[in-house]
Structure 1
């Protein structure tokens, strides 16, 4: 399972579509995702976003698009990038993006059994 973070309002717009993400691909070339183990490293990128956010839990084996694990920053960690649209049938769970009072990410209890790396 991989994670994709997005504004809840955006999720509300796409959740009933069969596929989505074309705009993200046109902008970035792929759709950014993270493993659960590395998400705590990615989460600070969303600190400045005041909107309510969600974490899409995606079963990559059910994706219709190719997933490549890449180390774009040469940091020694490989993150999943989706090279194509996301089919909503691959989204197996939607979790709230939890934050502390000071805006820091709080790991969801559903993901707590997976150790951070």
Structure 2
């Protein structure tokens, strides 16, 4: 597997997607249909995304927030790396629904942070 792609979401939204077979939220409060793609991030981008989208809630442990770990090889729709503004940091965007089968791991945001800190300390 190449570098995993991540998507931060609320646990109830992920549970609903598991029942239907596809996840179709783009970002907090916006659907794939409204946005045109699903926002993803690379592991190094996740902390900034969490702060930007959830602010205090993310900093307080993000109790209801989960990180979806996506295997890019299992996606059927294209992923494009795009910047919000010319010359800005590029983020991965999935141009279609996220199949539940492409999600290889789901972790609470607070567990993701804990493990990333341990990995960073040993690097």
Q: Give per-residue Cα distances to partners, 1:59-106, cap 9 Å, x unaligned.
A: 11111111000011345311000000111111000010119xxxxxx7
Work out the CA distance in 1 between the residues paired with 2:47 and 2:87. 15
- 2:20 counterpart (3, 11, 17): 17
Counterpart residue number, 2:45: 38
Residue 27 (structure 1) aligns with: 34
Q: Distance in 1 between matches of 2:117 and 2:104?
A: 13
Q: Give the helix-richer structure, 1 or 2.
A: 2
Give me the TM-score of the superposition, normalised by structure 2. Answer: 0.75
Gaps of 5+ in 2: none
Deviation at 1:30, TM superposition (A): 0.6
- Give ranges in structure 1 of 5+ residues lacking alignment: 100-105
CA distance in 2, matches of 1:83, 1:111: 31
